[in-house]
Structure 1
């Protein structure tokens, strides 16, 4: 009888933990998996990959909104196994996420841009014992150029035209430059409504890096997380931009592909290949595979290639990092941080990304990520 009561109590506590965590992350799930003595779920999706390793407590994290859908999918699986951990990821944007982490408010941050040298220097305040903040690439994917043009289902754009649209130099959808790229499309005499991020964003940083690399003469800005061009309209987060495109006739914007849902159409991008590249996970993976590790030591910041030559490679991509201390992490959250990061970097965790319209990190780079996670202290 006592054994039965203990089992019921454990199940009840597990249900409470799952409910609390999923309320925090706005990610619904049905916890039907059973647990074994190690605390790993017996469900096929996570039993071989989630290792709780005595992790417990709450993890506060924030940052990139581009990776939120991936985080939600990962948390759903992780929480089915590790009932003693609650994860609260707030998609405040990359800039705000890094600021919160450097202020000691979160256990890790999500950012679509690697840390700058001054930010690494600041991290000594939160990473004790001589530690510093490092970048762990965890999520890849295409930045889609979503559009809402009545009567137009397919659209091809090149870097110069995109730069001129978002710099206010092309204002109508039937502009000659757009017509030249889309000779068979029935482009209306409709004003272009270009939307950009109102918050500091790694997606903006990567979007403008692409324009700087491919259309510098039409994009005379230095780039960064904050939007620099004049004019246009703004919205908060990737979800906010996608919503504006969905509801505004003539709208165009940029956001991670997972936000291009509910009928939002995305433009194909003209490259050096014979045919324009479509915004797909597979095509983004082709481009990300040519990225190089630019970080030193345990830092695994990547240098992306915005001008890939492979046929079909989609050039407008981003990689989202999880930012943690290499050493000097808080003792009460370190086990949970390592447990969760180990799972999302695992083969099972990375395999979940395609279903959520993200691209897994190339295996050669991901093996280094796993080695680094195991050495966190």
Structure 2
């Protein structure tokens, strides 16, 4: 078997998502995906990855992973190179599963559990229709609020009590919200004004009172804050028991992360925008990380994600794969979640899961009563919906062998 083509597909309706199909001479197609800044990822795939992949045996995953790690410049963090390689790696594992007739969780060693606990990230239906590198204000995140059943971002800002009730009714036992973001946009994140602080704390308090003690609430901070401001917020919200305090500051400065950890009493979660095991090792060895979040589409694919999860286990740190990105990454996360003992949770966005995700792929992990179960069919167990690459808004680019 050899790779005969790389096909990338972008959709104008969802400008932050990129789908990748790796074609082979035996007619099998591996599926990958990436999110945010995807025109750059697309260009890198065709310019820098395709010449090294076309004609190769796609089952030589380790060899290809190593070759693509040897870029002279740009291969660290969650750079364009890392994200392009992540998309390729996911597609190669999908092909591996199709060839062997096994789901990815079986290829990774088999299941330690049948399903993984899910939590709902409270985005709305318009959240995926922009780039989070460009639009970080709440108006852009909200988009046009419709009568869609799951306008959860609007709900947590306006009626967290009804939001909690709705999630509990479908069996969900945890959610993630970000009531402090707009305050960071207004202040630049270096400080927080008292009025903004207490308004956001009140939203979290209302959610906690409605949820009771048997429902977890994660506090997302989107790396928007300085260490002093994040410390003030953590101390103000502590009594309402956030399950974790996620990405309160940019984590490039290990010293700043350690200083924050030593100043607060909340468990810290970081890692979704961090790529490769080396950068995750820096975070883990700081001893300032209580939960690790990784994104299979940004960390280096399934190959690198597996290494990071194993590394986290040596520090006693549980892992929760990220998904606010796309249906392929969600599917990968659930395969990882049933394979590795130290994966504790899988993120999902019900507004996406019951909305546009179903328009993109043929199968999704099964959600039922607070848990996700990965597909049991070969490879990822899903594929792009027929005709995606023929949509009027589709931007399709090919690199072919020969």
For normalisation by structure 2, the TM-score amounts to 0.26
Larger helix percent: 2
Higher alpha-carbon Rg: 1
For normalisation by structure 1, the TM-score amounts to 0.27
